[in-house]
Homo-oligomer: A and B are copies of this chain.
Amino acid sequence: MAKAARKYLDAADREQQILEFAIDFVAQRGLRFTTRELADALGVSQPLLYRYFKNRDDLLQKIYDEVYLKRWDPGWNELLADRSLSIRERLVRYLTAYTEAILDERWIRIFIASALEDPQITKKYLGLLHETTFPLIFAEIAVEAGVPVPSGPQADELALEIVWGFHSSFFYMGVRKYIYRNKIPDDLDPIIRARVEVFVAGLVESMPHLGQFLPETEVGR
């Protein structure tokens, strides 16, 4: 309350306030915003932004850092590896946590907008999925299916693609909601459970025969 009445904020508070506001603002308006639009919407003068941020790009960089950092929970991979739970249950819990983290207007819109502008910005985040989470999911389902994880570059690639397809469908719900502005169901739990069921059942069923989809090159090796 004392803070709210003040006109002159402490530098640290003002910087944080601008940053938080800018995140929402940029999520709505996209990267074409002007510094004046932002300052007007926040109710401060435009040059004030330059007291806290070196320039427009510096502000954007801070926005990216703030949005992307601290959304990734390293505990997720441990959860996926915890064999005291069924693989279906692990996937449901992981995806529930994951969708909760990313189904956020600011996260989705800034993620896509920044990737469109410069793919480097999102590279680190995507690498985490691609190199750690996806192989783990595939391997755990292989255990469930009772077959050895297929090896070889072609088989690895196919496995990754299968998991990509599954996993991306959850991110894509965010795209549908916050970019296409489609309605998506309020309660995601049944959808997560149904998709997990379809995916695990299908992959357990077909994993023994996935080799048939590989090019011949690897067969004789």
Interface size class of A (residues with CB under 8 A): 35 or more
Interface class of chain A by DSSP: helix
| Shortest Cβ gap from A198 to chain B (Å) | 4
In the complex, the answer to whether A213 meets B198 with C-beta atoms within 8 Å is no
Closest to A165 in B: B169
Kindly report which residue of chain B lies nearest to residue A127, judged by CB atoms.
Answer: B182
Which of A5-13, A46-54, A71-79, A113-121 participates in binding chain B?
A113-121
Which one of A17-25, A36-44, A189-197 is at the B interface?
Answer: A189-197
Contact flag A161-B191 (CB < 8 Å), given A113-B116, A115-B180, A181-B119: yes
Q: In the docked arrangement, what's the CA distance between A97 and B212, Å?
A: 22
Decide if A96 is an interface residue (CB 8 Å cutoff).
no
Residues on B with C-beta less than 8 A from A184 are 161
Residues of the B chain whose Cβ atoms lie less than 8 Å from the Cβ of A116: 30, 109, 112-113, 116, 179
- Given A158-B194, A198-B199, output 9 extra A-B contacts at Cβ < 8 Å: A31-B32, A115-B179, A115-B180, A119-B179, A123-B180, A166-B169, A168-B168, A197-B209, A201-B201
